[in-house]
Amino acid sequence: LTKTGKEGEIILLDDGSTSFVSDNKLLESNPFVFFQRIEKNEGRMIARRKLSELARYNHLLFIDCDSDIIKDDFVSAYFHLLEQDAALVTGGRVYTTAPPADCKLMLHWKYGTKRESSKNAGFMSNNFLIERKLFRQLKNSFQLTSYGHEDSWWGIQFEQLGIKCQAINNPVLHAALENADTFLSKSENALANLLILEKSINKDLLGKHIKIYRWYRRLRKTGLASFYLFFEKPFHNYFRKNILSCKPSLLFFDCYRFAHLIRLGKKESTV
């Protein structure tokens, strides 16, 4: 930011962590760095809203804290787009080309490399620029406090507002891979959030943005969801064992998640 000679600020929001608090406070010695700490983690949606309220400028650049900046002109590229009146831009994310040495991290690395680094990954909020007035138009009628599909919800709202998201090649490196147990647990939480979104969003629109929901809805309509669970059940533990192994299959991961979503949906319908 100093190299660009542009006016700006960096706001750090610690949402209830117990690590790096003293380290982050040291960064405040820089005149344009501000550190804000929240005692309780309330989820990514609320954290971003609070960041937008603290911001003084007309554009917001959101970057997740587990990201590494890998381009010397990272900030300059976004400032260049401001001169073109860009309203919404995503820079994307990448993963290391070499697999992690710890095989417990293999599931996250493989999923990120094959799915999240794709140009067709959809809107991702880990590295995006947005006009502050546009960000404040996003609905907060309900909150997803646990992990998962916040990006989907925002992407759907942008489409409803008629805002086209510009994608540029200005990625950050996803530097903090999670072990397979944690990643699988968060993936299951994301499926629960998907059913929360289902109650408030047009189902056709939700299916357009989220592939697993699109297939889930098709099977429910045809009455084949129970048949899928019947055939998946004998393999369920095998799928889970593979997913947590050093050689996880993304196909098995998809099969496992799909069955979990169907079971969650059945549980919801009986409540």
DSSP line for 76-115? HHHHHHHTTT-SEEE--EE--SSPPSSGGGHHHHHHIIII
Task: Kindly state the helix (H) or strand (E) to which residue 68 belongs, with its residue range.
Answer: strand 67-69
Tell me how many degrees the CA angle 153-64-256 measures, rounded to the nearest 5: 55
Contact 146, 104 (CB under 8 A): no
- Nearest by Cα to 91 from 126, 60, 118, 59: 126
Contact 89, 165 (CB under 8 A): yes
86/130 Cα distance (integer angstroms): 8
Task: Kindly state the helix (H) or strand (E) to which residue 189 belongs, with its residue range.
Answer: helix 180-198
Contact 203, 155 (CB under 8 A): no
Contact 170, 77 (CB under 8 A): yes
What pLDDT was estimated at residue 250? 96
pLDDT tens, N- to C-terminus, the chain (271 residues): 888 888 999 999 888 777 777 887 788 788 889 988 887 777 777 888 889 999 999 999 999 988 999 999 999 999 999 888 888 999 999 999 999 999 999 999 999 999 887 665 667 888 999 999 898 888 765 565 566 777 888 888 888 888 888 899 999 999 889 999 999 999 998 898 888 888 878 788 888 888 899 999 999 888 899 999 999 999 999 999 999 999 999 999 999 999 999 999 988 766 4
253/269 Cα distance (integer angstroms): 24
